[in-house]
Amino acid sequence: MSTQDVVVVGAGVVGLSIALAAQARGLTVRVIDREGPSAGASAGNAGAFAFPEVLPLASPKVMRQAPKWLLDPLGPLSIPPQYALKIAPWMYRFWRASWPAEVRASTVALTELNAISKRALKPFLQDNDLMDMLHHDGQLLVYEGRSEFEASLPGWKVREDADIPFRHLIGDDIAEVQPGLHPRFTHATFTPEWYSISDPKLYTLALAEQFRAKGGEIVIAEATSLVDGGVQTSVGKMTGKIVLAAGAFSHHLARTAGVKIPLETERGYNTTLPPDAVDLRCHVTFGGHGFVISKLTTGIRVGGAVELGGLKLPPNYKRAEALLTKAKQFMPALKTTGGTQWMGFRPSLPDTLPALGPLPGRPDVICAFGHGHLGLTQSAGTAEIIADLLVGKAPAMDLSPFSPARF
């Protein structure tokens, strides 16, 4: 195969966004993926550009809630017993990342990355003729009672300081935004700058079409190891600068260069119901229960929760069923028949920040993985940052908090 300026490993939303941004800077780009475009987490996420989500998952609040959640095998957070020992080192790092000083630093970093991603999104969509897929319905985060709402207020102060718009709602005001919620949800907060895409799988496939139309090549191949000058694949060696954007599989490839990065897999579950399943006006987040109901042009998606179970254990679709049962309780008009279940792998690092920048010891390999729940959200910003690095331009933000060498 011919030499390219850049070989992007991974044809998900992050990898393809980077490929398009690199093309726009005049680079020749090849994308490789073992299954093809939009085969992983990019296909089944909730479809949200969650720019207001600047609080790291690793936090004192989550550490306080975790013991209760872990007692429920179908709750918001679970660790299969057969995976508990394997994930213990990652959990220790997660605990360390939840200390107040680390949380403050991670919040600052996430706020800046989300802001860059928000600024980059519309120009990116315009450049690729995809603005018609973007929607501005907002998000409603609901609370069961005053105490749960008041516990959230410090987080909203952080967002207020970052100039993120929102408004708190009580009682009947909630129904004006989203009718049909159970009255147990007495308080809510609406974030208008929470955008969504019409369907994340169709969006990622559209990115692939744009990339090919602009002269890019997508090769179905498995990247097996990083080698001098490029990457070895199941169809031969490919040379050029390497962008490692293989999601939950990225750390395996990094290890072939002698670099250990503590990437883990948050397995997420969902059920996509027909579009008429409920009159959904906006994205609704049930934060105390760890799941969302999102509105796509192709259906109503009920999903979320975290199962720290790695890449190899079989799916436990009882988790998807449990989410659907709760959704019916919380929105009684929801029709729960005719749905399609899905499980995907969110690539997550213990401090909630992605790995962005050169792989230690390999300046020709640029990391772009570990976005956790925010891969779609941060895709356009990540693409801009990585494309700048590829052409030797200083990125628009300090990347030291995201350094792959921080571990």
Amino acid 280: pLDDT = 98
Amino acid 68: pLDDT = 81
3 — pLDDT class (breaks 50, 70, 90): confident
Amino acid 2: pLDDT = 59
- Asked, for residue 364, whether it belongs to a domain, the answer is yes
289 — pLDDT class (breaks 50, 70, 90): very high
Amino acid 67: pLDDT = 82
- Asked, for residue 150, whether it belongs to a domain, the answer is no
* Residues of the chain by 3-state class (helix, strand, coil), percent to 5: 40, 25, 35
316-367 confidence digits (pLDDT tens):
999 999 999 999 999 999 999 999 999 999 999 999 999 999 999 999 999 9
- Asked, for residue 74, whether it belongs to a domain, the answer is yes
Domain that holds residue 280: 5-138+194-402
54-63, 99-108, 169-178: least confidently modelled range: 54-63
Amino acid 16: pLDDT = 98
Q: How many domains does the chain have?
A: 1
Amino acid 76: pLDDT = 86
- Asked, for residue 143, whether it belongs to a domain, the answer is no
66 — pLDDT class (breaks 50, 70, 90): confident
Amino acid 316: pLDDT = 94
106-116 confidence digits (pLDDT tens):
999 999 999 99
Going by C-alpha positions, the residue among 245, 227, 211 that lies closest to residue 355 is 245
User: What does pTM read for this prediction?
Assistant: 0.96
349 by DSSP, 3-state: which? coil
Euclidean distance between CA atoms 34 and 167, whole angstroms: 44
156 — pLDDT class (breaks 50, 70, 90): very high
- Asked, for residue 178, whether it belongs to a domain, the answer is no
- Asked, for residue 172, whether it belongs to a domain, the answer is no
Is 1's pLDDT higher than 70?
no
The CATH number assigned to the domain holding 109 equals 3.50.50.60
- Asked, for residue 349, whether it belongs to a domain, the answer is yes
Going by C-alpha positions, the residue among 18, 6, 12, 4 that lies closest to residue 380 is 18
179-189 confidence digits (pLDDT tens):
999 999 999 99
- Asked, for residue 156, whether it belongs to a domain, the answer is no
Q: Are strands 299-308 and 77-78 parallel, antiparallel or unpaired?
A: parallel
More confident residue, 3 or 269: 269
- Which H or E element spans position 273? strand 264-273
Amino acid 305: pLDDT = 85
